[in-house]
Amino acid sequence: MPNLPAEITDSHCHLDFPDFAEELPDVVERAVAAGVTRMVTICTKLRNEPQVRAIAEQFAPVFFAAATHPMSVADEPMASVEDLVKLAQHPKFVAIGESGLDYHYTADSKPVQRESLINHIAAARQTGLPLIIHSRDADSDMADILAAEHRSGAFSCVMHCFSSGPELAKAALDLGFYLSMSGIATFPKSQSVRDIFAAAPVDRILVETDAPYLAPPPFRGRRNEPAYTAHTAQVGADVFNMDYADFAAQTQANFDRLFTKVSRWDGGT
Report the CATH number that the domain containing residue 182 is assigned in CATH.
Answer: 3.20.20.140
Q: Is residue 2 assigned to a domain?
A: no
Q: Which pLDDT score is estimated for 268?
A: 66
Are 183 and 233 in contact by the 8 Å Cβ rule? The answer is no
Q: Is residue 1 assigned to a domain?
A: no
Q: Is residue 216 assigned to a domain?
A: yes
Q: Which pLDDT score is estimated for 4?
A: 67
Q: For residue 107, what is the DSSP state?
A: G
Mean pLDDT in runs of 10 for the chain (269 residues)?
Answer: 80 97 96 97 98 98 98 96 98 98 97 98 98 98 98 98 98 98 97 98 98 96 97 98 98 98 83
Are 216 and 228 in contact by the 8 Å Cβ rule? The answer is yes
Are 262 and 63 in contact by the 8 Å Cβ rule? The answer is yes
Domain that holds residue 241: 8-263
Q: Is residue 3 assigned to a domain?
A: no
Please report which helix (H) or strand (E) contains residue 126, including its range.
helix 110-127
Q: Is residue 92 assigned to a domain?
A: yes
Q: Is residue 179 assigned to a domain?
A: yes
HEC assignment per residue over 136-193: ECCHHHHHHHHHHHHHHCCCCEEECCCCCCHHHHHHHHHCCCEEEECHHHHCCCCHHH
Q: Which pLDDT score is estimated for 266?
A: 83
Q: Which pLDDT score is estimated for 1?
A: 47
Q: Is residue 268 assigned to a domain?
A: no
Beta pairing, strands 131-136 & 157-159: parallel
Between CA 101 and CA 80 the distance in angstroms is 17
Q: Is residue 69 assigned to a domain?
A: yes
Please report which helix (H) or strand (E) contains residue 118, including its range.
helix 110-127
- pTM reported for the whole predicted model: 0.96
Please give the tally of structural domains in the chain. Answer: 1
